């Protein structure tokens, strides 16, 4: 083989490598939209959240529960007042407000994403958003440590 043949072979190998790399990046980008699923938080409220194999749901009461996604470091706290008795409204409402205030303590409002105010706590690195849509009786608190995940979830909120 002469020098010209070796250069052609090297160029062909480089082109094949670049094409393979481009194809791989294209597949990863296409899969990015499939890595989320829609979760119905209440009958009138849903969010797109990352897929996870490590979720727990804790029922605090009949009207309030907490979803922890340990894989993606997300916590969703939901308090629906629709069918709550007066006593439940007082007890659950107090618990919800107490949690809300604990998350806001030391945090500051930083930005608005999809018409939602996002709070950031520099001490623990968490991002917090609150939902209380006027047309539903939901109160939702979303906590995560990743601002990109927060933005994606907020843009998917439907109520």
pLDDT at 149 over 70: yes
- Domain chopping of the chain, boundaries: 41-155
Confidence label for 26 from pLDDT (cuts 50, 70 and 90): low
Longest alpha-carbon distance in the chain: 90
| Between 128 and 64, residue with greater pLDDT | 128
The three-state secondary structure class of 41 is strand
Neighbours of 2 (CB within 10 A): 6
Task: Tell me the C-alpha distance between 31 and 94, whole Å.
Answer: 41
Q: Which residues contact 62 (CB under 8 A, 6 or more apart)?
A: 83, 84, 88
101-121 pLDDT, tens digit each: 888 888 888 877 777 889 898
51-89 pLDDT, tens digit each: 888 888 888 877 788 888 999 999 998 887 777 677 777
């Amino acid at each position: 083989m002469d020098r010209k043949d070796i250069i052609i072979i090297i160029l062909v190998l480089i082109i094949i490598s670049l094409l393979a790399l481009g194809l791989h990046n294209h597949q990863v980008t296409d899969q990015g939209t499939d890595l989320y699923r829609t979760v119905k938080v209440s009958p009138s409220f849903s969010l797109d959240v990352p897929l996870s194999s490590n979720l727990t749901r804790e029922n605090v009461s009949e009207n309030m529960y907490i979803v922890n996604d340990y894989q993606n470091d997300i916590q969703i706290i939901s308090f629906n007042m629709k069918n709550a008795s007066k006593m439940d409204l007082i007890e659950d409402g107090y618990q919800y407000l107490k949690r809300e205030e604990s998350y806001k303590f030391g945090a500051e409002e930083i930005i608005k994403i999809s018409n939602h105010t996002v709070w950031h706590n520099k001490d623990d690195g968490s991002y917090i958003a609150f939902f209380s849509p006027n047309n539903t009786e939901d109160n939702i608190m979303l906590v995560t440590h990743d601002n990109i995940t927060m933005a994606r979830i907020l843009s998917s909120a439907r109520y």
